[in-house]
Structure 1
């Protein structure tokens, strides 16, 4: 595969959010098997191999013109304590595949700092991660693809 990893993007309209400095969100999922099948390789999280399923890569504010805000507010740094009740679900649904192996905290911190702080008018840190997890739980992309006759596994 020529891309670094397969990304599935779901567009989420935010027309109801008048305070937002962006037009919509990308809800980005990645396929671990594709990510790991690159020249840069991958490393499984320290807590084990992720499930054979699409994992969350991020929830990214974006604009209709293709631009996007990033790293918007450093006064709201990532605080793992804020998502303590989500950690088990985060481990399963939002694993880091970057090397060296980690517990995914640096990946989540990066996503919050780069994208989540730009959505501060809509989400606090807990809601940002909780809503991304909730979106993933609403539809099983893997199940839809398997039902259509495709088979996906992480090698």
Structure 2
């Protein structure tokens, strides 16, 4: 009887270990690479706080690199055994502070933001990107996709003016070569404004692709591009 109990326990332990491995390396179909306009983040009832390093540049900042499935669902929090380790991205610190700034209150150094993105999303891409590669890949994609330049080339500038949603999409597609998804939020007066831009990336994190599926949500036909 003693041996049977031990074997049973062993089987359960092995099964749990296998499940943990599967969760940590589960497949996904593509990434959403999400960038946000800081002026829209701040121009809401909730407001914002600049990071301890000071006011970020008036440019789109990285929100995250998110594994997704083609059916519109996504994995999250995949590996509790892979905690965020700031020392692994120390060589990227100046670039992350510049291109991936936190605007949450109270003012912070960004570590809580980056830890959240790694824990919720990054751990689900460990089969192709370790922690350092995850952040380095997002920074590389930021360099590839100069959203503000594409918009300014089309005469769309962050001056508090209003632009058609279609013109914003077209400007980004002309600059990037791929169709974006535009997410809006609402300012204190209830106006729809350009908040986040989603581009899609292949499952290796190496190349932009056309999005297999877009998130749910809706913007007005004309949206504000606020100053920052």
Q: TM-score, normalised by structure 1?
A: 0.86
Task: Give the equivalent residue in structure 2 for 1:93.
Answer: 99
Matched, 1:108 2:114: yes
Q: Cα deviation per residue 1:44-83 (whole Å; 9 max; x = unaligned)? A: 1010000000000000000011110000001000000000
Task: Give the equivalent residue in structure 2 for 1:27.
Answer: 33
Q: Cα deviation per residue 1:115-142 (whole Å; 9 max; x = unaligned)? A: 0000000100000000000000012110
User: If each structure's helix is expressed as a fraction of its own residues, which one has the higher value?
Assistant: 2
Q: Distance in 2 between matches of 1:120 and 1:40?
A: 34
Unaligned runs of 5+ in 2: 1-24, 160-226
User: If each structure's strand is expressed as a fraction of its own residues, which one has the higher value?
Assistant: 2
Aligned length: 137
Structure 1's consecutive aligned runs of 4 or more residues displaced over 6 angstroms after TM superposition are none
Q: How does 1:5-154 map to 2 (within 5 A)?
A: 21-152=27-158, 154=227
What is the root-mean-square deviation in Å for CA atoms of aligned residues? 1.1
Q: TM-score, normalised by structure 2?
A: 0.59
Q: Distance in 2 between matches of 1:131 and 1:20?
A: 19
Larger radius of gyration: 2
By how many angstroms is 1:20 displaced?
A: 5.3
By how many angstroms is 1:38 displaced?
A: 1.1
